[in-house]
C-alpha cells in the first residue's frame, strides 16, 4: 500500500510540493524525475551507497541511551548520533547519495548553494571523493560569517562564488545557483535538504531515511521493540527530521515532534518558526509554507543556529503540519543554548546548535517514566564554538 506521506506522481504531498521551475530547467528536472527511483532502487546504487556510508561516513551511527539526561527528564532518552558522521552531521548521507546519482546520470560538474556552509562542505567533500568539479554559491554576508567552512570548501577543491544581490544570504545564493543552472544545464544541482522542485524533496528524504532504518534495528535490539514512543528532530529545511521520521510516518502510534527555531521569540520579528509564521507560497521551486510579507516577498529569517535559519520548510513538513501527523514546537536561541550546555555537562557531548533546539523541548514535554524518546542529534558542536564562547563570556 502506498503511504499517504509519499508524494503523488506530480510530487505533491496534499497541496504541497510540485515543481515550479523555469521552462529552461524542465529537461534537467525531468531527467532526474524519470531516473531517480530506478537508480536508488538498483542493486548497483544500494551497494555503493551502503558501502560508502559504512566505510567513509562511519555508519551505522550509534543509538545511545543517555543515562543522565534520562534521569533528569524521567524517561528513556536515546540520542541518534548523527554528530558522529564524517563531516559532523547528517548532511553527508544525502550528498553521498546524490553524488552517486549524478555520476550515474553522467554528470561531471556539481553546483550547490549553502547558507551556513555545512551543505557546501558536505558537497565539496563528496566532489573531492569522486573527483568531480564543484561550484558552491554562497551569499557574500554568509561567506564572511562562515569563514572556517569557506576555508574547508576551498581546501576540498571547490570554487566558492559569492552572491552579491539582495540580502546577500541564502536565498540570493539559491537564485544565483538556479541562474547558473539555467545557463549550464549540463551541471547537476545538488540540493541539501528536503526542499526544491520535485523530485528533490522525495529523493533527499529517501537518502536520509537511513537514519530511521537504523533506528528500527537499534531500538529492537536495545528495547525489544522497533518503535519508540516519540521522535524529536529539529527542522531547518527538514532533512534530518524527514530521515528520522521516515519509516515511522505511517505508524500513528509513534509521536513525531518537529522543532523549529524561534530565534528571539516567535513573535519578536527575529525568528525562523515557519509553521507558526508562514503562509502558503512558492519557494525554491516548490509550494509549501514560508515566511513572507503581504506582497509575497520572503521575510529574512533569524536564528542563532545558521542551519535552521531558513524561511520555509520542505513540502513534506508543510503536509505533516497541516495533517497534524507531526507536532510542531519551537525553541528560542536562549533555550537552545541552555540545552546545549546541559547535554555537554550531563553526557559529555557538545551538540550542534541546530540539534540543541530538539533537546530544548524536553523540559516542555510531559514525559512518562516508561516513555521511549529518540532525539535525533543531527550534528556536532565544533562549528558553533564561537557562539558558545560568546554566550559563556557574557556572564
Ligand atoms: C543543516 C543542518 C540542520 C538543518 O537542516 P535540515 O535539512 O532541517 O536537517 C540541522 N542540524 C545540523 C547539524 C545541520 O547542519
CATH code of the domain covering residue 79: 3.40.50.1100
Ligand 1 binding site (Cβ under 6 Å of any ligand atom):
89, 91, 118, 193, 234-240, 307-308, 352, 354-355, 378-379
| The last residue of a domain, from among 204, 222, 241 | 204
Q: What is the pLDDT, as a whole number, of residue 2?
A: 75
Is 283 a member of any domain?
yes
98 plus 179 within the same structural domain: yes
Query: Nearest C-alpha to atom 3 of ligand 1 is from which residue?
Result: 307
Give the position, in ligand 1's atom list, of the atom nearest the Cα of 380. 13
302 plus 371 within the same structural domain: yes
Q: Which residues of the chain have pLDDT under 50?
A: none
Is 129 a member of any domain?
yes
Is 170 a member of any domain?
yes
CA distance 274 to 292: 10
* Distance of CA 24 from the midpoint of ligand 1 (Å): 30
The dihedral through the CA atoms of 265, 269, 274, 276 has a sign that is positive
169 plus 220 within the same structural domain: no
380 plus 289 within the same structural domain: yes
Is 287 a member of any domain?
yes
Q: Where are the alpha helices (DSSP H) in the chain?
A: 26-41, 43-52, 67-73, 91-104, 118-130, 140-145, 147-155, 170-183, 200-208, 210-223, 239-245, 274-277, 315-322, 333-347, 353-359, 385-394
Give the position, in ligand 1's atom list, of the atom nearest the Cα of 313. 8
What are the residues whose beta carbons fall under 8 Å from the beta carbon of 55, sequence distance 6 or more?
none
* Distance of CA 322 from the midpoint of ligand 1 (Å): 22
Query: ∠ at Cα 148 (144, 152), nearest 5°?
Result: 120
Q: Which of 89, 195, 210, 384 to mutate to test the pocket of ligand 1 (most atoms within 8 A of CB)?
A: 89
What are the residues whose beta carbons fall under 8 Å from the beta carbon of 65, sequence distance 6 or more?
76, 77, 78, 222
Strands 12-13 and 326-332: unpaired
| The last residue of a domain, from among 141, 171, 204 | 204
Query: Nearest C-alpha to atom 10 of ligand 1 is from which residue?
Result: 354
Query: Nearest C-alpha to atom 14 of ligand 1 is from which residue?
Result: 307
193 plus 269 within the same structural domain: no
Dmax over CA atoms of the chain, in Å, equals 58
| CA 271 to each of CA 193, 205, 319, 332: distance values in angstroms, whole numbers, following the listed order | 20, 25, 21, 8
Is 291 a member of any domain?
yes
34 plus 124 within the same structural domain: yes
251 plus 266 within the same structural domain: yes
Is 82 a member of any domain?
yes
* Distance of CA 289 from the midpoint of ligand 1 (Å): 18
Which residues have a catalytic role annotated? 91, 113, 378
Q: What is the pLDDT, as a whole number, of residue 1?
A: 57
Q: Which of 81, 235, 240, 286 to mutate to test the pocket of ligand 1 (most atoms within 8 A of CB)?
A: 240
Query: Nearest C-alpha to atom 13 of ligand 1 is from which residue?
Result: 379
| CA 101 to each of CA 91, 130, 136, 244, 348: distance values in angstroms, whole numbers, following the listed order | 16, 12, 19, 22, 37
Closest of 375, 13, 335 to residue 199, by C-alpha: 13
Is 7 a member of any domain?
no
178 plus 235 within the same structural domain: no
215 plus 155 within the same structural domain: no
| The last residue of a domain, from among 186, 204, 222 | 204
As for how many domains the chain has, the answer is 2
252 plus 270 within the same structural domain: yes
114 plus 218 within the same structural domain: no
Q: Model-level pTM?
A: 0.97
End-to-end Cα, the chain, rounded Å: 56
Give the position, in ligand 1's atom list, of the atom nearest the Cα of 240. 9
CA distance 64 to 76: 10
Is 3 a member of any domain?
no
* Distance of CA 1 from the midpoint of ligand 1 (Å): 31
170 plus 258 within the same structural domain: no
Strands 63-65 and 133-139: unpaired
Q: Which domain holds residue 242?
A: 58-88+209-394
* Distance of CA 111 from the midpoint of ligand 1 (Å): 19
Amino acid at each position: 500500500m502506498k503511504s499517504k506521506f509519499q508524494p503523488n506522481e506530480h510530487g505533491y504531498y496534499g497541496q504541497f510540493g510540485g515543481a515550479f521551475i523555469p521552462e529552461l530547467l524542465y529537461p534537467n528536472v525531468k531527467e532526474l524525475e524519470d531516473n531517480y527511483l530506478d537508480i536508488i532502487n538498483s542493486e548497483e546504487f544500494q551497494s555503493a551507497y551502503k558501502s560508502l556510508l559504512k566505510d567513509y561516513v562511519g555508519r551505522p551511527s550509534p543509538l545511545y541511551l543517555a543515562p543522565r539526561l534520562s534521569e533528569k527528564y524521567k524517561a528513556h532518552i536515546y540520542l541518534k548520533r548523527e554528530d558522529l558522521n564524517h563531516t559532523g552531521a547528517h548532511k553527508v548521507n544525502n550528498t553521498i547519495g546524490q553524488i552517486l546519482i549524478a555520476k550515474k546520470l553522467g554528470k561531471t560538474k556539481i553546483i550547490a548553494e549553502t547558507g551556513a556552509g555545512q551543505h557546501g562542505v558536505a558537497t565539496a567533500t563528496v566532489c573531492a571523493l569522486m573527483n568531480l568539479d564543484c561550484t558552491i554559491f554562497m551569499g557574500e554576508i554568509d561567506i564572511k560569517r562562515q569563514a572556517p567552512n569557506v576555508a574547508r570548501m576551498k581546501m576540498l577543491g571547490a570554487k566558492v562564488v559569492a552572491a552579491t544581490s539582495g540580502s546577500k544570504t541564502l536565498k540570493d545564493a539559491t537564485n544565483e545557483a538556479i541562474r547558473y543552472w539555467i545557463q549550464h544545464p549540463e551541471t547537476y544541482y545538488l540540493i541539501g535538504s528536503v526542499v526544491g522542485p520535485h523530485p528533490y524533496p522525495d529523493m533527499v528524504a529517501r537518502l536520509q531515511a537511513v537514519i530511521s532504518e537504523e533506528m528500527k534495528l537499534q531500538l529492537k535490539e536495545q528495547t525489544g521493540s522497533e518503535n519508540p514512543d516519540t521522535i524529536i528532530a529539529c527542522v531547518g529545511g527538514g532533512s534530518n527530521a524527514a530521515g528520522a521520521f521516515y519509516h515511522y510516518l505511517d505508524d500513528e502510534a509513534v509521536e513525531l515532534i518537529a522543532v523549529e527555531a524561534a530565534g528571539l521569540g516567535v513573535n519578536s520579528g527575529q525568528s525562523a518558526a515557519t509553521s507558526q509564521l508562514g503562509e502558503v507560497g512558492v519557494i525554491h521551486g516548490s509550494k509549501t509554507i514560508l515566511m513572507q510579507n503581504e506582497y509575497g516577498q520572503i521575510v529574512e529569517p533569524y536564528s542563532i543556529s545558521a542551519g535552521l535559519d531558513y524561511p520555509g520548510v520542505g513540502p513534506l513538513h508543510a503536509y505533516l503540519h497541516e495533517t497534524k501527523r507531526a507536532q510542531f514546537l519551537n525553541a528560542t536561541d536562549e533555550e537552545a543554548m541552555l540545552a546545549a550546555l546541559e547535554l555537554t555537562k550531563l553526557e559529555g557531548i557538545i551538540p550542534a546548535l541546530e540539534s540543541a533546539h530538539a533537546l530544548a523541548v524536553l523540559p516542555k514535554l510531559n514525559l512518562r517514566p516508561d516513555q521511549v524518546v529518540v532525539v535525533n542529534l543531527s550534528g556536532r558542536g565544533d562549528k558553533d564554538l564561537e557562539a558558545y564562547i560568546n554566550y559563556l563570556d557574557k556572564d
